[in-house]
Amino acid sequence: MSATENRAGCHGDHDVTGEIQEDNVTSKEAVDNYGACGDHYDEMSSTTLFDVPWDDVLFQYILPLLPVQTLFQLRRVCTTSLLMIKEYFSQSKEINIARIAGKVTAKAFHILTDENTNLLRLNLRNSKGWLSDELLIPVLKCNPKLQLLDLTNCTSVSNAVLQCAAVHCPGLKKLMLRDCVWLSPEGVTVIGLYCKDLETIDFNGCWNVNDESLSVLVSSCPRLKSIQLAKIYGLTDNSMTVLAKCSSQLYHLNIQGCWRITDDSIRFLAEYGKNLKMLQIRECHQVTEMTLGKLRENGVKMDKLSPPSTRPRINQLLWSMRHKLNVQM
């Protein structure tokens, strides 16, 4: 490979799948090759990229700034860079492929995760088709310190993944499952029973979640601060009452479209939700301003405008204009 080809391979937004090659060299061969590379570059420069401390500088301050595509391209430069990226992947605390999920393959995922036992954050948002239980479960088993798991819109996995995460990653703090229609009440329950440090959950669009499983989750996880439950049409006042009483640290609640919820449970939210700052409640037609007014008095921001009758004339006109333009506060 020429120097010009090397430079071209390190730039551009190429398909990750086109940049993956087998690891056909052993560590010894890579080290031997590093010596050869060093001799070659000594003639050109006194210092090369490989002379920079890997653990203290490259792995901490430089490689984390590079896109995943570029890291895969660096693997192709020479055997030394292959060894360097392989070691970096094994030490990484975060994997985020959300922006390129459609280009990743099972092979690429293996390269990213196979030797890693240090992950704290795993963002696989929009990984459709290629991501499976068989690929993900071994990763969860090997990373017990995982704190963030984002499977938003991942349609090819199942509740088996959640059961594994609950047992092997009990320190989870943030679980994002938006639009994961496969999520079952059993999956919600097992997460609640094992992951008691949860602070953020996103179940928006997971319409199989029911009152019983949600009640188990919120009563077992007292540190919850942000709860997203939009468009889960089966939820009623039963689970909302438990949520209001058990989630004393709740900061943000989204129950848009949960039309079965009424004033009865929102009153408890106004009474117990002392830390609540944001409530998304559009399309909850059985919740009235009589109850919402108490929350507004407590400084809670909402996606539903207050009625104009409580405002001065000029504010009434502004409210009317926003309403016609469908502008939300």
- Write the pLDDT tens digit of every residue in 240-255: 999 999 999 999 999 9
Radius of gyration for the alpha carbons in the chain, expressed in angstroms and rounded? 25
Average pLDDT on 100-122 reads: 96
Find the helix or strand (DSSP H, E) in which 199 lies. none
Average pLDDT on 316-325 reads: 66
| 142-227-158-131 Cα dihedral, nearest 10 degrees | -60
Q: Which residues contact 143 (CB under 8 A, 6 or more apart)?
A: 116, 117, 118, 119, 122, 168, 169
207-229 pLDDT tens trace: 999 999 999 999 999 999 999 99
Average pLDDT on 127-150 reads: 97
Residue 318 has pLDDT above 80, yes or no: no
Tokens 């942000």 -> residue = 226
Residue 259 is predicted with a pLDDT of: 96
| 3-4-5-11 Cα dihedral, nearest 10 degrees | 110
With cut-offs at 50, 70 and 90, classify the pLDDT of residue 17.
Answer: very low
Average pLDDT on 290-294 reads: 93
Q: Which residues contact 1 (CB under 8 A, 6 or more apart)?
A: 9, 76, 77
With cut-offs at 50, 70 and 90, classify the pLDDT of residue 322.
Answer: low
63-73 pLDDT tens trace: 999 999 999 99
- For the chain, give the number of residues: 329
Find the helix or strand (DSSP H, E) in which 96 lies. strand 94-96
Residue 316 has pLDDT above 80, yes or no: no
Residue 236 is predicted with a pLDDT of: 98
- CA triplet 243, 246, 251: central angle to 5 degrees? 70
Tally DSSP H helices, then E strands, for the chain: 13, 9
The tokens for 26 are 């052993």
**Using CA atoms, how far apart are residues 172 and 170, in angstroms rounded to an integer?**
6
Quick check: 122 and 149 in contact, CB under 8 A? yes
160-201 pLDDT tens trace: 999 999 999 999 999 999 999 999 999 999 999 999 999 999
Adjacency order of strands within the sheet including 121-123: 94-96, 121-123, 148-150, 174-176, 200-202, 226-228, 252-254, 278-280, 301-302
Q: Which residues contact 15 (CB under 8 A, 6 or more apart)?
A: 69, 103
